[in-house]
Amino acid sequence: MSLVRKRAIGDALISMGMLCVLIAMLAAFDGRVREQISMRVSGEPAAQVASAEATVRNLASVVILAARDQGIEHAPLVIFVLAATVLLLFMLRT
């Protein structure tokens, strides 16, 4: 496997990991996200497979709403984290 392909796979894994961390943090702070996750985990497997698209869409909308609400409530912290992320990306590029 070439170095570029390995790096792309590594970047994809890091992105997926950070998405999981984001959802876990939102679940820790917002009851709506916790409720949606617990509903999805405790359901029947056949019913979950049949409604997978609706489940993902519903969970994504709840996560987006929770992220927006948390972002509005904690705007200075969001700006700080965004600036820190941009600086980290610039540091990793050089």
Rounded Cα distance between 94 and 81, Å, is 20
pLDDT of residue 32: 82
Tokens coding 73: 């409530």
Tens of pLDDT along the chain (94 residues) come to: 688 888 888 888 888 888 888 888 888 888 888 887 887 777 666 665 667 777 778 888 888 888 888 888 888 888 888 899 999 888 888 6
Structurally, the chain folds into a number of domains equal to: 1
pLDDT of residue 45: 64
DSSP letter for each residue of 28-69: HH-HHHHHHHHHHHSS-HHHHHHTHHHHHHHHHHHHHHHHHH
Rounded Cα distance between 28 and 45, Å, is 25
Task: Read off the pTM.
Answer: 0.46
Range of the domain at 24: 3-93
